[in-house]
Structure 1
Amino acid sequence: MAADENRWVADATLPILVFQEVHMGIDPTVLACIDATAAEFASFQELLQRWIERANTEAWQGQAAAEADALWAALCFHVTERGGLAGDFIGRGADRWPANPQAVSDSAVETWAGYAEAVGHPMLRARLHHLVWEARKRFPHARKAIEDYTEAVPRFLSMSDRSAGRCRASDCLGFAYDLAVRLSARDLELTAKQAMISFVRELLDDPQEAAPGLVLEILKKLVGRHASDAAVQALLSRATSIHGGDVPIVIELLQLRIAGTQDQQERAALQRQIVEALLTDAERFPGFVRVDRLNAAAIAARDYGLEDLFDDARVRMQAIAPDQLGMESFHFEFPVRRAEIEEYSRKVLGQAQTLGQAFSALASLPAPSGTREAAQEHAKRLASEGLLSSFIPSIRINAAGPVPVAEARVHTAADDENEWHVTAMMITSVYVHHLLETVGDRFDPTAAQLAHLFTADPIITGIRAAKLAHAFRYYWSGEYDAALAIALPRIEGILRETLRYHRIPIVQPPQGDSRGRVTLLTTLIDRMTDAGMHADWQAFLRLLLVDSEGGLNLRNSELHDLSDTETAPQTVALVLLAALYVTAHAHQAAAPACGIGKEQQRG
């Protein structure tokens, strides 16, 4: 008995460790103020605005000011796409508050923890508990955050502003669910899931005010982890039926339903329903918007393997005439004095005594598209001005289809550079046209004389030179379409043979199902600098001939008959100038003792 008593005494003297959070004191004045300010709010942004005004009015000092600032900072944190919290509070002191909760000071975290237990509004309590969890990973705070987010739902639903209240209730459920998933807290996840299902049912049962956006937002979260859940699938089916007139919403709901079924027949039926909804929706719109909707239908049909609907969408799209697109043309005029043009011609051609010298002078000009440095400077200036076009996505359309050529995207610095280059080309084309007209008037060469001048075997054979000569003769006789059609292929041929002469690969052997081929114009232009041609002229040829994003794309527009506009002589002048440039380089390589190359070297 004595031994047992001694053992009991010994056990009783063992230390007992008790882990307990110790919160700093809470200033009752600050607590009363935050409770009064947060009695009812529609968003954290609204509450933040009120608290800033209140804190500035009260002008607290010492510990009260520190607590007020900690609450201010807490309201500046927002939920990131990954579910965490990030802050943007600058602070009223010398040091900026950190954006990462884990970098926040211990005293601020303890203030959050203390107020999380004391404030009245459950949404504010939840945010403070959430912040303490993010800052120090204290699990009890995470559970309390989830519980308080859930408790806040009925409070928001009772707000006088039903729309704002339902939005905040949806936010609370989403925060609770996401946090439970991150914690791998299965019980809390299921509780939040059930609350979300009940909330969606209430939204769908509301006959007065539909909320398809909220329904979709919550169902997206549920489908992420519970796609095949019977209750979730039932809600998706019911939501599809109720919101059948809202095509964008219905399409997303159908896509969520597809994610939840493995039955191939059901998946195929849902996919067909999506495409048919897109086709039906397109009929409600005119012009380009209709093209955009039909384009979306065609892409979906193609991706789903629905060939009949793919063809249907494309046939409907191509039935829209260019003048039905609702697009506007903008014309810009810039004054050019005749005396200025003639003075420029005298400066360029004043020393030319022969046709070869005149062509050499033209081939020696700077690239009409200007320098890359100047274009970059222009783009930087636009960026510094913060133009609205830099933030609005836009889309290019091939009116010959009509069909969008790419997905919508925002304007980039590269786009601004291209626009500057193209504008420079258009202005320079006026001068180039006058230069070529002057050459024609002064020398009036025959086709035979031109062919002899252009020939540079083996790069420019007699036949190729004769064809290029005809292009110039057509140009000088005012037959611009013929000149353009003949000159464009000659540029490609001369470039190809120049690269061949310089032992730069221009052939692609067959590989698998791909047939062997000769390198086409875009790649030939990419290799121009390898043959010693200037990078500015390379950029000019790319914009002039093959760039479909921001350039003139003349090779494709002309040879594939994609343009319905009259051929401008200034545009043809740019093409002929490009032909002279590549011809001059062919002469430098293959026939340096004669022709344009000789004259250019002398210059």
Structure 2
Amino acid sequence: MPDVDPAVLTALDNASSGFISNRQVAVSLDSEAAGSPKAADHFEALRAALLFERQDGSLTGMYHGDPEDPWPTDPKMVPSETQELWALYAEHAAHPGIRGHLHDLLRACGHGRRHLHAQGAIAGYREGAAIFWAADEQPAGQVRAVHAVTDALDLALTWGQTDLRDRVVRDMVAMVEEILDGPEQRDGLLRALLEPLQQEGSVEAKVSELLDRAIGHVSNPHLKVTFLRVKRSRARDAESAKAIEQQIVEIMLQHAEAASGALKPMLLSDAATAARNFGLGDLHDEAVLKMQSINTQDLGLVRLGGRVEQLKELTDLYLARIEGAPTLKEALWAVVLPDSPPAGSGATAKRAASVLAESAPFVATIASGRLNPNGPVPVSAEGVDGRTAIQARYHLLAMEMEGLRIEAQLDRIRERFNPDEEELIDVFTPNQLAPDWRLRMLAHAFQHFWLHEDDAAIHLALPQVEGLLREILRSRGVTVIQVPKGETPGGVSQLGRLITDMREAGFTEDWIRSIRLLLTDGEQGMNLRNDVLHGLTVCPPRHRIALVLQAALLLLREIHMEGDLGAGEPSAT
């Protein structure tokens, strides 16, 4: 078994004197290591240990070391000889925060008697927390102290250390009381301490008292509501719970009233949602009316624009498909590639999101929210985007770019063939599945598009896309009507249900996603059918109308295949 190196121990104790962050100690040891080449292994083992950080309740290594032989990020993969070094310094280090961290690592490694390491970690964290709490460097010291005691509490609960848990709880209660008695507001620290304490039955009465004091102490309305929700979860009877719910919504409404710009309808929407969930009808109606009375010009929104340039080679490739088509029919079908939906594939979007999250991780943590200014109504709650949201943005950007290329294709068809209404109807008419009047309206939509009468084109095309989809699903045995049930009347499936049922009709997931983003997705997509036909937006840009016409061509092509007139051509399904 190795021995403690006196020089390394002295360097560790000096570096950890008055420290707050483990990284501070690691950096100091890095400079000390250069003067002690014989103890290089000890220095590196300690630097690696100090750069293990807690993430989602687990310890993860951030030290890389030699690029050819990087250090493991999982404590269980750390070599046994390194664990022995950590165990030595865990017993001899002067600062209890260092001892607690090393014992915690050894517990995670599975070294020796793990429950003894858990006890050592709890004891070290508790003692270290007292030092951090009183440190000269504030508020960083108190933040570190709160992390230490909450980690200690988690370990005590996990390892069934009842006596140690009670001591940690007393430490946490004392911290909360000191914050509440002090002149400065430490709202974040209060929350970090009170949330885990609410589960501690041994101090239930004390926690209730602290919650009441904290609600009166904090000025941040979000935190005040958070504490009220905790208090509501502890309410003994329905009457007390209802009074707290009333207080929660009233605070949310007051906060919303004090806000301005686009934030105001977002906050009113949150208040209305809370009131609805609590069954507070009067407050719900009040929030909705306040939101409805906001003028669009008061939102503080700015319309952004820009210029998008596409690769000429890619546009030329798309136009070449039109140039190479011998007939109008084949040129129109060339606008739809069955294996290339406009939003791209889900697999490609996942890869793109993964690359972006790794190369620009900040993108995945930017808070976002979307607002329909016509209401004004929040269409997606403010939150933190993860990779799923990045994927959605990728799909939408892909559709925007594809729309520009489809617009160019349709214009080239007009230049080459200049089809009149009857020529278009002749191409569109495959069998009796689509009625003549629907095909004539679609022909009108294309004619208006080519004349740059965009508002007429989109209003003609959108209902016919929905009608064509309903007819295809019906022909493939998919139920598109609902019979009356009780007091619920019967009817036909609406577009959202029809798009979901495309899966049952054999359409691919990628095409279903493209149609949904184009027509009905109000949170992440273009939502053209809902926004245009409900009068919630001005006429969309021409390239988006081109996407709707492409969707119509996709469905017409499917109908042609139903009539066996497109034999030999690949299908989108």
1:70-219 aligned within 5 A:
70-82=45-57, 84-91=58-65, 95-134=69-108, 135-207=111-183, 209-219=184-194
Measured after TM superposition, the shift of residue 215 of structure 1 is 1.4
**1:490 has 2:468 as partner:** no
- Provide closer, same or farther for how the CA distance between residues 453 and 103 of structure 1 changes in structure 2, counting only shifts above 3 A: closer
> 2:27 and 2:320 mapped to 1: Cα distance?
69
Match for 1:295 among 269, 279, 283?
Answer: 269
> 1:54 and 1:582 mapped to 2: Cα distance?
71
**1:418 has 2:407 as partner:** no
Superposed CA RMSD in Å reads: 4.1
Deviation track 1:74-110 (CA, whole Å, cap 9, x = no partner) reads 312233433x544333456975444444444444434
Measured after TM superposition, the shift of residue 479 of structure 1 is 5.3
Deviation track 1:150-183 (CA, whole Å, cap 9, x = no partner) reads 2233423332223222222223322332222222
> 2:23 and 2:450 mapped to 1: Cα distance?
69
1:121-520 aligned within 5 A:
121-134=95-108, 135-207=111-183, 209-226=184-201, 229-243=204-218, 245-333=219-307, 348=322, 358=328, 361-367=331-337, 384=355, 386-387=359-360, 388-407=362-381, 408=383, 409-410=385-386, 411-433=389-411, 435-436=413-414, 442=418, 444-445=420-421, 458-468=432-442, 471=445, 480-508=454-482, 516-520=490-494
Asked if structure 2 preserves the Cα contact closer than 8 Å seen for 1:109 and 1:132, the reply is yes
Measured after TM superposition, the shift of residue 535 of structure 1 is 8.4
- Provide closer, same or farther for how the CA distance between residues 55 and 362 of structure 1 changes in structure 2, counting only shifts above 3 A: same
Match for 1:57 among 25, 35, 40?
Answer: 35
Measured after TM superposition, the shift of residue 416 of structure 1 is 1.0
- What does residue 37 of structure 1 align with? 15
Measured after TM superposition, the shift of residue 505 of structure 1 is 4.1
Asked if structure 1 preserves the Cα contact closer than 8 Å seen for 2:52 and 2:62, the reply is yes
> 2:399 and 2:21 mapped to 1: Cα distance?
48
Secondary structure in 2 aligned to 1:396? strand
- What does residue 535 of structure 2 align with? 561
Deviation track 1:454-483 (CA, whole Å, cap 9, x = no partner) reads 556532234434544555566677654344
User: Structure 2: which amino acid aligns with 1:586?
Assistant: I
Measured after TM superposition, the shift of residue 309 of structure 1 is 1.8
Secondary structure in 1 aligned to 2:432? coil
> 2:169 and 2:428 mapped to 1: Cα distance?
78
User: Structure 2: which amino acid aligns with 1:519?
Assistant: S
Structure 1-normalised TM-score? Answer: 0.79
Where does the alignment leave 5 or more consecutive residues of structure 1 unmatched? 1-22
User: Structure 2: which amino acid aligns with 1:187?
Assistant: D
Asked if structure 2 preserves the Cα contact closer than 8 Å seen for 1:227 and 1:259, the reply is no
> 1:382 and 1:140 mapped to 2: Cα distance?
43
Deviation track 1:472-516 (CA, whole Å, cap 9, x = no partner) reads 566677654344323322222233223333444434556777655
> 1:127 and 1:468 mapped to 2: Cα distance?
70
Measured after TM superposition, the shift of residue 384 of structure 1 is 4.2
> 1:94 and 1:574 mapped to 2: Cα distance?
50
Asked if structure 2 preserves the Cα contact closer than 8 Å seen for 1:180 and 1:186, the reply is yes
Secondary structure in 2 aligned to 1:142? helix
User: Structure 2: which amino acid aligns with 1:168?
Assistant: R
> 1:141 and 1:539 mapped to 2: Cα distance?
52
Asked if structure 1 preserves the Cα contact closer than 8 Å seen for 2:15 and 2:25, the reply is yes
- Provide closer, same or farther for how the CA distance between residues 280 and 473 of structure 1 changes in structure 2, counting only shifts above 3 A: same
Measured after TM superposition, the shift of residue 232 of structure 1 is 0.9
> 1:141 and 1:534 mapped to 2: Cα distance?
54
Secondary structure in 2 aligned to 1:394? strand
Measured after TM superposition, the shift of residue 270 of structure 1 is 1.6
Asked if structure 2 preserves the Cα contact closer than 8 Å seen for 1:379 and 1:416, the reply is no
> 2:308 and 2:129 mapped to 1: Cα distance?
63
**1:586 has 2:559 as partner:** yes
Measured after TM superposition, the shift of residue 231 of structure 1 is 0.7
Secondary structure in 1 aligned to 2:258? coil
Measured after TM superposition, the shift of residue 268 of structure 1 is 1.6
> 2:402 and 2:473 mapped to 1: Cα distance?
28
1:10-21 aligned within 5 A:
none
Asked if structure 1 preserves the Cα contact closer than 8 Å seen for 2:344 and 2:398, the reply is no
> 2:154 and 2:510 mapped to 1: Cα distance?
54
- Provide closer, same or farther for how the CA distance between residues 570 and 204 of structure 1 changes in structure 2, counting only shifts above 3 A: closer
Report percent identity of matched pairs.
Answer: 32
Measured after TM superposition, the shift of residue 427 of structure 1 is 3.9
Deviation track 1:132-158 (CA, whole Å, cap 9, x = no partner) reads 444333444433433333223342333
User: Structure 1: which amino acid aligns with 2:526?
Assistant: L
> 2:45 and 2:211 mapped to 1: Cα distance?
42
Asked if structure 1 preserves the Cα contact closer than 8 Å seen for 2:336 and 2:554, the reply is no
- Provide closer, same or farther for how the CA distance between residues 53 and 123 of structure 1 changes in structure 2, counting only shifts above 3 A: same
Measured after TM superposition, the shift of residue 222 of structure 1 is 0.6
**Please, which moves more after superposition, 286-295 or 135-144?**
135-144
- Provide closer, same or farther for how the CA distance between residues 481 and 551 of structure 1 changes in structure 2, counting only shifts above 3 A: same
- Provide closer, same or farther for how the CA distance between residues 108 and 578 of structure 1 changes in structure 2, counting only shifts above 3 A: closer
User: Structure 1: which amino acid aligns with 2:32?
Assistant: R
- Provide closer, same or farther for how the CA distance between residues 194 and 205 of structure 1 changes in structure 2, counting only shifts above 3 A: same
> 1:33 and 1:246 mapped to 2: Cα distance?
43
> 1:457 and 1:577 mapped to 2: Cα distance?
20
Secondary structure in 2 aligned to 1:406? strand
Asked if structure 1 preserves the Cα contact closer than 8 Å seen for 2:315 and 2:405, the reply is no
Measured after TM superposition, the shift of residue 576 of structure 1 is 4.4
Asked if structure 1 preserves the Cα contact closer than 8 Å seen for 2:342 and 2:514, the reply is no
**Please, which moves more after superposition, 571-580 or 531-540?**
531-540
Asked if structure 2 preserves the Cα contact closer than 8 Å seen for 1:543 and 1:553, the reply is yes
- Provide closer, same or farther for how the CA distance between residues 501 and 30 of structure 1 changes in structure 2, counting only shifts above 3 A: closer
User: Structure 2: which amino acid aligns with 1:30?
Assistant: V
Structure 2-normalised TM-score? Answer: 0.83
Asked if structure 2 preserves the Cα contact closer than 8 Å seen for 1:472 and 1:483, the reply is yes
Deviation track 1:400-454 (CA, whole Å, cap 9, x = no partner) reads 3222323432342343133112222134324424634775xx55447xx876775
- What does residue 9 of structure 1 align with? none
> 2:106 and 2:513 mapped to 1: Cα distance?
56
Structure with greater Cα Rg: 1
> 2:75 and 2:27 mapped to 1: Cα distance?
21
- Provide closer, same or farther for how the CA distance between residues 295 and 137 of structure 1 changes in structure 2, counting only shifts above 3 A: farther
Secondary structure in 2 aligned to 1:281? helix
- What does residue 24 of structure 2 align with? 46
Measured after TM superposition, the shift of residue 569 of structure 1 is 5.6
> 1:383 and 1:106 mapped to 2: Cα distance?
34
Where does the alignment leave 5 or more consecutive residues of structure 2 unmatched? none
User: Structure 1: which amino acid aligns with 2:3?
Assistant: G
Asked if structure 2 preserves the Cα contact closer than 8 Å seen for 1:422 and 1:551, the reply is no
> 2:140 and 2:421 mapped to 1: Cα distance?
79
Count of paired positions: 559
